[in-house]
Structure 1
Amino acid sequence: MSYQTTFKAALFGLAALGFSGVAASADQLADIKAAGKIVTATDMHYAPFDMLKNGTYEGMTKDLFDGVAKELGVEPVYQDIPWTAELPGLEVKKFDIVIAPVTITPERLDRYTFTLPIADATVSLVKAAGNKDIGKPEDIKGKTVGVQQGTAQFKQLQAYGDKLGGVTVKEYGTTDEAYADLAAGRLDAVAGSLPNLTYLVKERGETFALLEPASFGEPTYFAWVLRKGDESASFAKAIDDALLKMTDDGQIKAIQEKWLGTYTELPREVPGQK
């Protein structure tokens, strides 16, 4: 065999290995099943979805994702990551999926793959229980309202405030910080998703109260987020199939009622996803 023939054969072998490697790593679900685990990211300070109680992770998200991971036959690995670092971390493949409840928006749909909705995310308002100056959403005009930074609720609050003629928006790293300032009288209200605020009032009704009506703006939904592209397609479908199965057999209804005290039927497809 000549040197030239040997060299060509070596190049062909390297190319074959390269293509083989791409094929092997192009299916995220296959990689996850081979590893036997799903590495997740969430913010464990977002009750009732994600909470740390005496150092133990619990909440609606965990119950839902435990069920999904069981359907997929793998173990979930839960990581507590600040919300503002979650989507950037997903993009550079620090974890497989963001399971913090992420509001589905047109802008995010262009950049990420969303699972089926896991909960209602319609923006709502809560006040201190003894506050008689605010009753309905329009009453926040000229007031100071807290909201978690980087959220869809923040953008909706800003837009609503502009429509009303002015609202001072104060951003917080976590909702717990916003609730603390509301309880201390440093805020007039806090904006957040309806499930979060419903749970807050359920647990601390002596301190907080929902506005009537609590919600404003267009109905929106929470979902989980994967990277965009063909690599994640089978992974997203497997999660959606698991969620539909859990819906049809009553698991999701039981989980919602456990954490929210009520059940909301959710879309069986991703709203707005093409």
Structure 2
Amino acid sequence: MKLRIGKIPYANLFPIFYMLGKECDCSFYEFIEGVPSRLNKMLRKGEIDVSPSSSIEYLKNPSLYQIIEGHSISSRGPIGSILLFSKKNIHGLNNSTVHVSSQSETSVALLDIILKKFYGIQCKMQVSRNPENSGAEAFLLIGDDAIKQGSRVNLQDPAGGQRSRVYDLGEIWYEKTGLPFVFALWIARKKLFEGQGSRVNGQKELLNKFVKDLNTAKEIALKKLVEIAQHSPMKEFMSEEEIISYWNKIDYELTPEHKRGLDLFNRYLKELSCF
């Protein structure tokens, strides 16, 4: 029996998973790859046991999950990979349709909060398989897609000859609230922590081992970003210096201040009836 672990194939988590594989005995783990929305659903249904997961998934279902303390994907300012691309100034987007990725519910909810709470703007969110090719006035990209598109912002839009304006959602959130934004948490199904249910017999010990391995991987990874960048798939479209700069924007911690940011996000979600 192995612990089933979700693996998001985005650049932001590459250092952690790289060091897990290099420094830890992973023979007790089965890694299952998928975008955040897919892994959220699998975790909710019990098809995986632990995963880095969208913060909104935890906030929607706190009775199902236990947070693995000390770990997150957060930012205190620009994150570089959650980006709104617009042909207009953000103030001019009222009543527009914004095409969004289906890969991350957290980022879409954050954009809705930013537009409504911080700018007083009402927009329709249209889920699109390829938002960047939708022809919309504005679109949201996340992860590696956002990084790649962001590197092309100086190119003119072939249809209208307009240059895209780029808004970093992590930067806007921090400017408006002064708190970190927690995009993702490492969470496990609460039954594993409690040792309940037929399948989880013996799994609690495996989970405790994984938490120790995760702590080790993060500690080493943050000290060896230069080395890890040499092995990153991002080298296909970024220099090693750019990769390291991107990772340095990410806050991998989970402190009381991060939790205050998470609580504020939760409050806004409820105020806007997002769930």
| Maintained 8 Å contact 1:123/1:156 | no
Task: Give the whole-Å Cα distance in 2 for the aligned partners of 1:105 and 1:152.
Answer: 8
Q: Say if 2:85 is the partner of 1:126.
A: yes
1:98 aligns with 2:51: yes
Q: Identical aligned pairs, as a percentage?
A: 12
Change (3 A) 1:116 1:43: closer
Unaligned runs of 5+ in 2: 158-162, 175-179, 194-203, 233-239, 264-275
Are the structure 2 counterparts of residues 70 and 97 from structure 1 closer, same or farther at C-alpha, using a change threshold of 3 Å? farther
What is the CA-CA distance between 1:250 and the residue it aligns to? 3.8
Tell me if 1:171 matches 2:157: no
1:192-215: CA deviation from partner (whole Å, max 9, x where unpaired): 458753442115652574435664
**CA distance in structure 2 between the aligned counterparts of 1:77 and 1:60, rounded to whole angstroms:** 20
Alignment of 1:252-267 (within 5 A): 254=229, 257=241, 259=243, 261-262=245-246, 263-264=248-249, 266-267=251-252
**CA separation in 2, counterparts of 1:83 and 1:265?**
17
Q: Indicate the residue corresponding to 1:191 in structure 2.
A: 140
**Is the alpha carbon distance of 1:162 and 1:241 closer, same or farther for their aligned partners in structure 2, counting shifts above 3 Å?**
same
Letter in 2 for 1:95: I
CA 1:241–1:193 in structure 2 vs 1: closer, same or farther (change >3 Å)?
same
1:116 positional shift: 1.1
Distance 1:258 1:77 in 2: 31
The within-5 A match list for 1:106-185 is 107=59, 110=62, 111-112=64-65, 113-114=67-68, 116-118=71-73, 120=75, 124-127=83-86, 131=87, 134-135=88-89, 137-149=90-102, 151-163=105-117, 164-172=120-128, 174=129, 177-181=130-134, 185=135
Q: Which residue of 2 aligns with 1:16?
A: none
Task: Give secondary structure in 1 for the equivalent of 2:48.
Answer: coil
**TM score, norm. by length of structure 1:** 0.59
Which shifted more, 193-202 or 63-72? 193-202
Does 2:149 match 1:200? yes
Question: Partners of 1:78 and 1:257 in 2: how far apart?
Answer: 29
Deviations 1:71-121 (A, max 9, x none): 22125755444644422322444234334x634777168343246124546
Please, which runs of 5 or more residues in structure 1 have no aligned partner? Answer: 1-30, 33-37, 50-58
Shift of the 265–197 alpha-carbon distance from structure 1 to 2, 3 Å rule, reads: closer
Counterpart amino acid of 2:100? V
1:220 corresponds in structure 2 to 181
Q: CA RMSD in A?
A: 3.9
Matched, 1:248 2:223: yes
Distance in structure 2 (CA, Å) of the matches to 1:226 and 1:92: 12
* Contact 1:90–1:97, Cα closer than 8 Å, also in 2: yes
Residue 16 of structure 2: aligned partner: 64
* 1:169 positional shift: 1.2
Which residue number in structure 1 is paired with residue 270 of structure 2? none
Counterpart position of 1:15: none
AA paired with 2:221?
M
Deviation at 1:65, TM superposition (A): 0.7
Q: 2 CA distance for matches of 1:266 and 1:43? A: 17
Q: Between 139-148 and 189-198, report the one with greater CA deviation.
A: 189-198
CA distance in 2, matches of 1:144, 1:168: 5
Tell me how many residue pairs correspond in the alignment. 212
2:97 and 2:126 in contact (8 A); partners too: yes
